[in-house]
Structure 1
């Protein structure tokens, strides 16, 4: 029983790592093209694909083709959490040590987007001053962990509803 539990944890961490690497790649590509929402969509698709595949493989390889809704949803949430921790760590290291100017570039893009709208310049200046004081690599890393874990939790519920396959206990008991 303990071996099964360790095998399940290893499986979840492996799929979390795969999903996390996919999130890192899509996020890294997105930093070179700020304002392009396609990379946000690709990040969500990568996370969803990792959750789906991880739960499906768990059902088929570790649980004899059966998985309950709650087991599938919890496994997906764990995969999303491990993936988001990798992304959050990457974001922190990238923004703090690799390219510290990237944060200023992101804020400048945000300011340009606000200037394109009919917002008074004084309000934009106030908003940007507050953002410059509050936003940090630490906050963005933690925010990524929370956001992608939440999104992954929602995806896990949807995937669990599609993938769940309960065993028929009576057939198991009778020996069919």
Structure 2
């Protein structure tokens, strides 16, 4: 089947929702288990992200495209997957930092305040900066999380495109019997 005839939408959508759900559950498990936010265990959330990206490309190639896929199609499939996951994770990160684990954001504000004090900023500058961060910080953290997942997904999609590429031959030789 021709690549232009088949969209990777269904496969990427299914994998993105499955892996985003697993990532949300893993994040909540890490939080409610009392694991320190600076622990390397926190980075295990990226494992389902990478797995889903690879599987969405592989499944699109094998099921929809008869085992053939170009680098461009493999990249766009992975990037679509990453874009969907990044949107879901951005929304989740906003909810997580605003309502579930607001202490993490408050700790980062306290750390920023200590850093500004060590830089010799005036108390008025510190107060203005902290108030601005308090009003926009959670939203900006969610946006930067979403952008981070998208950029990571683009990078991994490029790598995966070269791993899974299998271009369709231009022509296929057909054996025939001589008369």
Please indicate the TM-score interval, normalised by the length of the shorter structure.
0.7 to 0.9
Instruction: After TM superposition, give the deviation of residue 132 of structure 1 in Å.
Output: 5.9
Residue in structure 1 matched with residue 155 of structure 2 by the alignment:
154
Higher helix share: 1
What's the CA shift for 1:70? 0.6
CA–CA separation in structure 1 for the residues paired with 2:101 and 2:140? 16
**Which deviates the most, 143-152 or 93-102?**
93-102
Q: Provide the residue aligned with 2:39 in structure 1.
A: 36
Structure 2 counterparts to residues 1-176 of structure 1, below 5 A: 4-5=6-7, 8-31=8-31, 32=34, 33-40=36-43, 42-108=44-110, 110=111, 120=118, 122=120, 130=129, 133-134=132-133, 136-171=137-172, 174-175=173-174
Paired residues of 1:30 and 1:36 also in contact (CA < 8 A): no
Larger mean Cα displacement after TM superposition, 21-30 or 11-20: 21-30
**Alignment length (residue pairs):** 166
Measured after TM superposition, the shift of residue 95 of structure 1 is: 2.3
SS of the counterpart of 2:42? helix
Give the deviation of 1:128 after TM superposition: 9.4
Distance (whole Å) between structure 2 residues aligned to residue 35 and residue 107 of structure 1: 16
**Shift in CA distance, 160/3, structure 1 to aligned 2, threshold 3 Å:** closer
SS at match of 2:95: helix
Report the 3-state secondary structure (helix = DSSP H, G, I; strand = E; otherwise coil) of the residue aligned with 2:38: coil
- Structure with greater Cα Rg: 2
- Structure 1 position 10, deviation (Å): 1.3
Structure 2 gap segments, 5+ residues each: none
Segments of 5+ residues of structure 1 without an aligned counterpart are none
RMSD: 3.1
